[in-house]
């Protein structure tokens, strides 16, 4: 099953199960079914709860917050995650704050879905990875789509938090298959983190969210074949708050060398937050400081050759790890 189908099926299952769930977004109703077709079919089955909205990211997110306030559940689709900037106030000052600023906990069951990332030629304002701009807001949890995490379970977890969540979906994942890794790698999932590993002790650990996991996997394969460097990949479903399970710490302890890969540009990133956490927990055991691997600083061009050069990719990951471990 492709990731987009898994996501669509998750939304359909949730709508069927939760009579008070709304799905809101620009152009989400049939026959269009959303810019990336993730909501295809949903409005046909649930016409009064799957609603196409005006081009109004702030209001859509505020409407979702109002529904949550009244006890409903709401999922918002931001057509391109870049536009979540227009909804920032509703997330930063209202929805996340409302969970606690009224003195007792106020449940806010809402998810803002943000298709993000480059690789599709959409250009500078439609290709960014804005995760870092949402990291560290009290009461706002961040998740990222991954081929290893079933979306229905992820949405159940997000709603169970009873606080607003942003779900980042790297657009390049939509057409990829769920869950697949090829031998000699194998995958196991524990505590919301997927671990892709080889038999035997690894030389390093790579921490990468779902959108860049396949690029990390490709680098892992070439590092193994060309350099005999064995890597373990950890793919967390929840980016923030980042509270990794024992499996994560065990993997870090086993490897003592840690790389974090993210598609965003450097500077105040999610990866920096992860590095801080790893340093705090494992500083005395690490061989090296945690290395962050980002896209180069700059806008994301539209032309395919320029866009490729602007985004973190298999070869960036390969060469950084090789250079760091082998000098």
Partner 1 sequence: MTRPSTALKGETSDPAVSAPQDADLSLMLMIRAFELKLLDLYGRGLLNGTTHTCLGQEYVPVAVEALLDPRDHVFSNHRGHGHYLARFRDPAGLLAEIMGREGAVCAGVGGSQHIHRDRFLSTGVQGESLPVAAGVALHLKRSEPGRLACVYVGDGTFGEGAVYEAFNIASLWGLPLLVVVENNGIAQSTPTTRHLAGSIAGRAAAFGIDHRLVETSDVTEIRRTLEPLVSRVRSRATPLVVEFVTRRLGPHSKGDDTRPVRALEEMREQDWYARCAAACPGRFPRLDAEARAHIDAVAAEVMARGPSQWEGS
- What is the contact surface with partner 1 in residues (CB under 8 A)? 20, 22, 48, 51, 53-54, 56, 58-72, 74, 89-90, 93-94, 97-106, 139
Contact present, 322 and 203 (Cβ < 8 Å): no
The residue among 139 and 202 lying less far from partner 1, judged by its C-beta, is 139
DSSP 40: T
Torsion sign, CA atoms 94, 98, 100, 103: positive
The residue among 87 and 216 lying less far from partner 1, judged by its C-beta, is 87
The residue among 21 and 258 lying less far from partner 1, judged by its C-beta, is 21
Shortest distance (Å) from residue 109 CB to partner 1: 13
Contact present, 240 and 136 (Cβ < 8 Å): yes
The residue among 134 and 174 lying less far from partner 1, judged by its C-beta, is 134
Shortest distance (Å) from residue 208 CB to partner 1: 31
DSSP 100: T
Bridge partner list, 167: 113, 143
The residue among 54 and 297 lying less far from partner 1, judged by its C-beta, is 54
* Nearest-angstrom CA–CA distance, 42 and 297: 39
Shortest distance (Å) from residue 80 CB to partner 1: 18
Contact present, 110 and 64 (Cβ < 8 Å): yes
Phi, psi of 4 (to 5 degrees): -60, -40
DSSP 132: G
Shortest distance (Å) from residue 64 CB to partner 1: 6
* Nearest-angstrom CA–CA distance, 123 and 117: 10
Q: What is the rounded radius of gyration, in angstroms, for the C-alpha atoms of the chain?
A: 19
The residue among 71 and 267 lying less far from partner 1, judged by its C-beta, is 71
Shortest distance (Å) from residue 214 CB to partner 1: 37
Shortest distance (Å) from residue 93 CB to partner 1: 5
Shortest distance (Å) from residue 50 CB to partner 1: 13
The residue among 62 and 192 lying less far from partner 1, judged by its C-beta, is 62
Contact present, 96 and 139 (Cβ < 8 Å): yes
Strands 141-144 and 165-170: parallel
* Nearest-angstrom CA–CA distance, 144 and 235: 10
């Amino acid at each position: 099953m492709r990731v987009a189908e898994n996501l669509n099926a998750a939304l359909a299952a949730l709508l069927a199960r939760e009579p008070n769930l709304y799905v809101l977004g620009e152009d989400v109703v049939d026959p269009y079914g959303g810019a990336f077709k993730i909501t295809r079919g949903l409005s046909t089955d649930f016409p009064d709860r799957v609603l196409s909205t005006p081009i109004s990211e702030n209001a859509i997110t505020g409407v979702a917050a109002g529904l949550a306030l009244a006890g409903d559940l709401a999922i918002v689709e931001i057509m391109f995650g870049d536009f979540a900037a227009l909804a920032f106030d509703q997330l930063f000052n209202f929805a996340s704050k409302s969970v606690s600023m009224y003195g007792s906990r106020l449940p806010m069951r809402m998810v803002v879905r943000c298709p993000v990332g480059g690789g599709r030629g959409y250009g500078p304002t439609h290709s960014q990875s804005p995760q870092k701009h949402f990291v560290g807001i009290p009461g706002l949890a961040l998740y990222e789509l991954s081929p290893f995490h079933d979306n229905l379970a992820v949405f159940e977890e997000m709603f169970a938090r009873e606080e607003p969540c942003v779900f980042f979906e790297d657009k390049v994942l939509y057409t990829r298959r769920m869950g697949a890794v090829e031998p000699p790698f194998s995958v196991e999932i524990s505590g919301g983190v997927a671990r892709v590993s080889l038999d035997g002790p690894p030389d390093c650990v790579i921490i990468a969210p779902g959108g860049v996991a396949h690029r990390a996997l490709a680098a892992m394969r070439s590092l193994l074949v060309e350099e005999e460097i064995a890597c373990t990949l950890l793919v967390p479903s929840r980016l923030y708050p980042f509270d990794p399970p024992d499996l994560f710490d065990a993997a870090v302890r086993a490897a003592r060398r840690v790389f974090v890969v993210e598609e965003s540009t450097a500077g105040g990133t999610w990866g920096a937050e992860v590095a801080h956490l790893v340093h705090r927990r494992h500083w005395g055991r690490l061989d090296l400081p945690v290395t962050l691997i980002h896209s180069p600083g700059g806008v994301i061009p539209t032309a395919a050759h320029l866009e490729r050069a602007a985004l973190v990719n298999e070869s960036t990951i390969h060469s950084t790890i090789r250079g760091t471990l082998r000098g």
